């Protein structure tokens, strides 16, 4: 079931899309805020000559909205057209271009090769915000089944559209929740990035998957899923189409991966039944997260998606759910070993975390 959004412009020309549950019709009003004109070339890509990795320089993000009062939340409905990014009296799910984007350029001229001089390029790409609900105090785990399915179908819609844009190499849907993670808006929401390059971790996983295919003739991610199901000690929950497990080499104190049982590269490959199954298991795991301690668990949710081209053909859609909380009162900080050297040290055992989550 593909969905068609209602599209409206915001005051500065950015695009706003309303996605609605069956039988509901949004009623937006004109956005009457006196917003400044968007600045072309406001972000830049710079290549680190030591690693070949791209760094996004986006100084305009210094001025982004920071912990506003609840009555000034830019994601709550704004029926006057003067207070919100969503000029309407109510909505189910909305997506709009980020007002303070990391990637924003309108053209794709390709990224420079080589390491001579100072390789740089305009920050081409797309950054969107997705608000899961008009309820300021809600959460993804608290959505009912139909509403959660609408969010997933919205991710699916945006993935399909962004993948067709020239120069977009990777579409990344994600959510950060909790001040401990660095979230500056408490309204339940996520983001969607269209990168003009493969991100470093994606590229590293694909290199491993390509080598595994050459050595064994099978898909690496499918083998990981089969091994985790066969072992069973780290499986948290499963349904007809997906399995959630704590990975064998978990890097984070709480980390759960969700894999489809069928090989698909991204959300656009899932059928309606699989979309509903994914929404159910995703809410299930997030609900367990929130029952782990006395307060809701801060987390990051990352949807790994791939396209059907030579570089990404071995990619297998999966989700990582991660938390920095290592106990009820302690956080995991990414200090020198993790942040500088990329050498993660986990203070919990994956098997113990999986058992605790199964019990919830």
Beta strands in the chain (DSSP E): 6-9, 15-19, 44-47, 54-57, 93-97, 120-122, 126-131, 170-177, 189-195, 235-238, 242-245, 254-260, 299-304, 318-323
The region of weakest confidence among 29-38, 113-122, 274-283, 334-343 is 113-122
pLDDT tens digits for 312-324? 999 999 999 999 9
Q: What percent of the chain has pLDDT over 70?
A: 98
**Residue 231: CB atoms within 10 Å:** 12
Note the pLDDT of residue 344: 94
Mean per-residue pLDDT, 40-69: 86
Note the pLDDT of residue 113: 78
Mean per-residue pLDDT, 14-18: 97
Note the pLDDT of residue 22: 95
Note the pLDDT of residue 55: 95
Instruction: Compare 219 and 184 and report the one with higher pLDDT.
Output: 219
Q: Does the pLDDT at position 328 exceed 70?
A: yes
Note the pLDDT of residue 64: 79
Check: CB of residue 194 under 8 Å from CB of residue 125: yes
Note the pLDDT of residue 41: 66
Q: Does the pLDDT at position 273 exceed 80?
A: yes
Write down the H helix ranges in 123-177.
145-163
Mean per-residue pLDDT, 280-303: 97
Note the pLDDT of residue 2: 76
The band of 305, judged by pLDDT with boundaries at 50, 70 and 90, is very high
What pTM was computed for the model? Answer: 0.96
User: In terms of residues, how long is the chain?
Assistant: 360
* DSSP symbols for 25-92: ---B------PPPPPTT--EEEE-TTT--EEEE-GGGGGS--S--GGG-TTS--TTSSS-SS-BS--S
pLDDT tens digits for 142-167? 999 999 999 999 999 999 999 999 99
The band of 279, judged by pLDDT with boundaries at 50, 70 and 90, is very high
Q: What percent of the chain has pLDDT over 90?
A: 86
Question: Residue for token digits 């990035």?
Answer: 193
Note the pLDDT of residue 59: 86
Question: 189, 212, 257, 304: which is the annotated catalytic residue?
Answer: 189
Cα distance between residue 205 and residue 188, in whole Å: 30
Check: CB of residue 127 under 8 Å from CB of residue 97: yes
pLDDT tens digits for 177-211? 999 998 989 999 999 999 999 999 999 999 999 99
Instruction: Compare 115 and 60 and report the one with higher pLDDT.
Output: 60
Check: CB of residue 252 under 8 Å from CB of residue 324: yes
Note the pLDDT of residue 108: 66
**Residue 202: CB atoms within 10 Å:** 20
Please report, for residues 83, 181, 346, the alpha-carbon distance to residue 75 in angstroms, rounded to integers and kept in the order given: 9, 19, 35
pLDDT tens digits for 91-140? 999 999 999 999 987 766 778 877 678 889 999 999 999 999 999 999 99
Mean pLDDT of the chain: 94
Residues 6+ apart with CB under 8 A from 333: 324
Residues making up the binding site for Zn(2+):
73, 76, 136, 187
Query: Domains of the chain, with CATH numbers?
Result: 6-197 (3.30.428.10), 202-359 (3.30.428.10)
**Residue 336 structure tokens:** 């020198």
DSSP 217: S
189 is annotated as an active-site residue: yes
């Amino acid at each position: 079931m593909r969905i068609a959004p209602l599209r409206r412009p915001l005051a500065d020309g950015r695009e706003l899309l309303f996605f609605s549950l069956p039988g509901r019709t949004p009623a937006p009003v004109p956005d009457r805020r006196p917003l400044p004109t968007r600045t072309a070339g406001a972000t830049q890509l710079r290549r680190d000559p030591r690693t070949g990795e791209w760094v996004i320089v986006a100084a305009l993000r210094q001025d982004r909205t920071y912990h506003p009062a609840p009555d000034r939340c830019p994601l709550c409905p704004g029926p006057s057209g003067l207070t919100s990014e969503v000029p309407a009296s109510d909505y189910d799910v909305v997506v709009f271009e980020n007002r303070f984007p990391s990637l924003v350029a309108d053209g794709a001229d390709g990224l420079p090769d080589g390491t001579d001089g100072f390789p740089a390029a305009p920050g081409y790409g797309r950054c969107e915000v997705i608000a899961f609900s008009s309820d300021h105090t809600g959460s993804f785990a608290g959505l009912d089944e139909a509403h959660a399915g609408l969010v997933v179908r919205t991710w699916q819609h945006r993935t399909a559209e962004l993948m067709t844009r020239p120069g977009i190499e990777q579409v990344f849907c994600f959510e950060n929740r909790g001040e401990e993670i660095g979230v500056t808006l408490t309204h339940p929401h996520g983001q969607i990035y269209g990168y003009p390059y493969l991100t470093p971790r994606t590229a590293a996983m694909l290199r491993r998957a390509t080598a595994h295919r050459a050595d064994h003739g099978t898909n690496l991610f499918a083998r990981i899923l089969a091994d985790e199901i066969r072992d069973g000690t780290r499986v948290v929950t499963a349904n007809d189409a997906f399995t959630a497990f704590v990975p064998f080499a978990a890097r984070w104190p709480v980390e759960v991966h969700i894999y489809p049982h069928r090989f698909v590269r991204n959300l656009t490959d899932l059928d309606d039944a699989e979309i509903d199954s994914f929404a159910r298991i995703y809410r299930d795991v997030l609900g367990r997260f929130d029952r782990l301690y006395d307060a809701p668990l801060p987390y990051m949710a990352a949807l790994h998606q791939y396209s059907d081209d030579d570089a990404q053909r071995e990619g297998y859609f999966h989700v990582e759910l991660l938390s920095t909380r290592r106990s009820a009162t302690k956080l995991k900080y990414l200090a020198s070993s993790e942040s500088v050297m990329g050498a993660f040290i986990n203070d919990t055992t994956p098997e113990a975390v999986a058992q605790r989550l199964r019990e919830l």
